[in-house]
Amino acid sequence: MYVPAHFDESRPDVLHALVAQHPFGTLVTHGASGLDANHIPFELLANEGALGTLHAHVARANPLWQDVKDGDEVLAIFRAGDAYISPTWYPSKHETHRQVPTWNYVVVHAHGRIRIRDDEKFVRGVVARLTRTHEAGEPQPWKMGDAPTDYLDTMLKAIVGLEIEITRLVGKRKLGQNKEARDIRGAGDALVARGEQQIGREMLDHLAGLENKP
């Protein structure tokens, strides 16, 4: 990924937080059948390994787990928001007309080595933790014990676990850092007004951080 210096985000704790907040990632592999991409939810174990470890699972019918070998290099991509930016939102555009459209976004690339975990204990643990995390906000959280044992056992046998040791984290926050402060504010305010809160707030928060620096 091309990352100009002003868009670089390399702090591991920030990148881990982004992955945890946006756990539905794209897993890119290059196995025996060539390039492939699968879209799956991940669990991040930030304190496991030098840069963290990712756990996930796929359907047993998915050829991914047989197409790659333990130790193969893979890439997991986590998108943490994006938005189109119109040049008309920049105050400077109306003075000089020297602005063009762009797209702002926040993304994390987790490079790593994959290991296939085709064992019931690992898969059960991954499903249990993912469920606990994503059901936490429900009035009546679903738990694995709610399902009949025989049904749950059948469902667990139909999936295969994945473990990825993260070897490199690359982050990019493209929030208009190469623009004037008034242009960042103009575009951020426009996004928020249109209901695109995520990137709009990120832009305004970035600007506030700059303005509060001593």
On whether residue 119 sits in a domain, the answer given is: yes
Asked if residue 188 is part of any domain, the answer here is no
Check: CB of residue 199 under 8 Å from CB of residue 82.
Answer: yes
> Which tokens hold the place of 149?
């044992």
Of 38, 71, 72, 74, whose CA–CA distance to 57 is shortest?
A: 38
What is the per-residue pLDDT for 93?
Answer: 86
Query: How many structural domains are present in the chain?
Result: 1
- Residue 181 counted as domain residue: no
Query: Is residue 149 domain-resident?
Result: yes
pLDDT digits (tens, 9 = 90+) for 86-143: 999 999 989 998 899 999 999 999 999 999 999 999 999 999 999 999 999 999 999 9
pTM for the model: 0.93
CATH number of 47's domain = 2.30.110.10
Mean pLDDT across 198-210: 90
| CA 49/CA 162 separation, integer angstroms | 16
Q: Residue 36 has what pLDDT?
A: 98
Q: Which of 12, 28, 14 is nearest to 77 (CA)?
A: 28
Residue 140 lies in a domain: yes
Is 151 within a domain? yes
Mean pLDDT, the chain, integer:
95
The whole-number pLDDT of residue 213 equals 67
Predicted confidence (pLDDT) per residue in 6-30, tens digit:
999 999 999 999 999 999 999 999 9
Q: Write the pLDDT tens digit of every residue in 138-162.
A: 999 999 999 999 999 999 999 999 9
Residue 204 resides in a domain: no
> Does residue 53 carry a pLDDT above 80?
yes
- Say what the alpha-carbon torsion angle 125, 129, 134, 140 is, to the nearest 10 degrees: 90
Give me the pLDDT at residue 208, please. 87
- Token digits for 110? 């987790």
81, 14, 17: which is closest to 44 by C-alpha? 17
pLDDT at residue 211 above 80? no
Q: Could you tell me the residue range of the domain that residue 122 belongs to? A: 5-85+103-176
Average pLDDT of 31-47? 97
Residue 158's pLDDT is: 97
In which residue are the tokens 């390399």 written? 10
What does the pLDDT read at residue 82?
Answer: 97
- pLDDT at position 86 is 97
- Residue type, position 62, single letter: N
Which tens digit of pLDDT belongs to each residue from 177-187?
999 999 999 99
Rounded Cα gap, residues 158 and 147, in angstroms: 15
pLDDT given at position 214: 62
